[in-house]
Structure 1
Amino acid sequence: MARYFDVHPDNPQRRSITSVVDGVRSGALIAYPTDSCYALGCQLGSRDGIARIRTIRNLDDRHHFTLVCESFAQLGQFVRLDNDVFRAIKAATPGSYTFILPATKEVPRQLLHPKKKTVGVRIPDHSVTQALLAELGEPLLSSTLLLPDEEEPLTQGWEIKERLDHQVDVVVDSGDCGTEPTTVIDFSDGQVTIVRRGAGDTARFE
């Protein structure tokens, strides 16, 4: 049965944040809010967490996982950026964007796209997510909480608790955070490719 934390969306309670992060460090799979929609998250090197996310979402090995980062400095440890890409991403963060980029050796092999050796990264603009990341001190390995055969992600913490009670370990509820996933921009081959149009404005990349 999943532990349930009701967290204030603007001033998250320190005790709750610490408890959630302690769980992540112990191998917990969490459902948590972001600035676009809810996500599933676990510790970066958690093979069990990766397998459970794949099972819940019915994902194949070509799916791009996302490293949700606290800051641009942290993001830069895990992906390679040239100057033009650096400026483009810097101007759009924090925000509802996921960027696909060539991974550095800091990224566990099982997270990489098998052919491209790329990974998704993002910096969310959400107080609860930022509090979790600050306490954790490293990115959260994440994937949008979109269940198989459903068109929209789950948006209510109580519903997530009800439906995934025996599939996740922790549910963090800070109220409705929207139904639209991030906009996904692929910079991995030197060109700008809009993979998915979502919550982030694509105009700056067109």
Structure 2
Amino acid sequence: MTQRFAIHPSDPQPRLIRQALKVIEAGGVIAAPTDSCYALVARLDDKDAADRIRRIRDIEERRHLTLLCRDLSEISTYAQVDNKQYRLLKATTPGAYTFILEATREVPRRLSHPSRKTIGIRVPDHPVMLALLEEAGQGLLSSSLLLAGDEQPLNDPDEICDRLKGQLDLVIDSGACSGRGTTVVDLSGPSPVLIREGSGPLGPLGLG
């Protein structure tokens, strides 16, 4: 059965945040709001939950899942960041950007790209998601809630409940998000490469 919690978008109730994290820690997959769109979220080291996310989204194992971090300093736990990359990350986080970076050994091998050893990382700018991350005390695994055949990620909690009833353990209802995915930038090479333009402006990246 899919639970549904109504959590205030700017002042999330700590009790409900703790309950939502318990669902994640028990191996659950939840839908939660971010500053770009709703996302599927699970525990970082939970292979079964990662497989469920891929099945829900109908994506292959080689596709990146994204690691959500609380802040800029936490990124360095999971990704190798040089000075140039750090300056760009500092200018754009928190925000609606996903960065492809070289993974550290803290990232389970199955979650990094099998041939390139990279991982997608972002710091979301949404009080509910940041509260979840703070309560977790570590990164959380995520993927935009973009279903096969759809052009835009799911944005409305009612639609998420209707279309994914029984496939999710919890839907956090904090109202609609922007509905667009993140801007994705590959930083694993000598210079930034735009993979997808989304909610995050290109100006701070020097790509606009």
Aligned to 1:103: 103
Aligned to 1:7: 7
Deviations 1:5-60 (A, max 9, x none): 00100111111101000111111101000000000010001111111111111111
Deviations 1:137-181 (A, max 9, x none): 111100000000110111111211121121110100100111110
Alpha-carbon contact 2:91-2:204 (below 8 Å) kept: no
Deviates more, 1:150-159 or 1:99-108: 150-159
Q: What TM-score do the two structures reach when normalised by structure 1?
A: 0.98
Aligned to 1:58: 58
| 1:129 partner SS | helix
Aligned to 1:186: 186
**Residue 143 (structure 1) aligned with residue 137 (structure 2):** no
Alpha-carbon contact 1:2-1:169 (below 8 Å) kept: yes
Amino acid in structure 1 at the alignment position of 2:48:
D
**How many angstroms does 1:74 deviate by?**
1.1
Q: What TM-score do the two structures reach when normalised by structure 2?
A: 0.97
Aligned to 1:87: 87
Q: For structure 2, list consecutive stretches of 5 or more residues without a partner in the other structure.
A: none
Separation in 2, partners of 1:136, 1:158: 26
Give the superposed CA RMSD. Answer: 0.8
Amino acid in structure 2 at the alignment position of 1:76:
S
Q: For structure 1, list consecutive stretches of 5 or more residues without a partner in the other structure.
A: none
How many matched pairs?
A: 206
Separation in 1, partners of 2:185, 2:60: 20
Alpha-carbon contact 1:34-1:129 (below 8 Å) kept: yes
**How many angstroms does 1:73 deviate by?**
1.2
Amino acid in structure 1 at the alignment position of 2:123:
I
Identity of aligned residues (%): 46
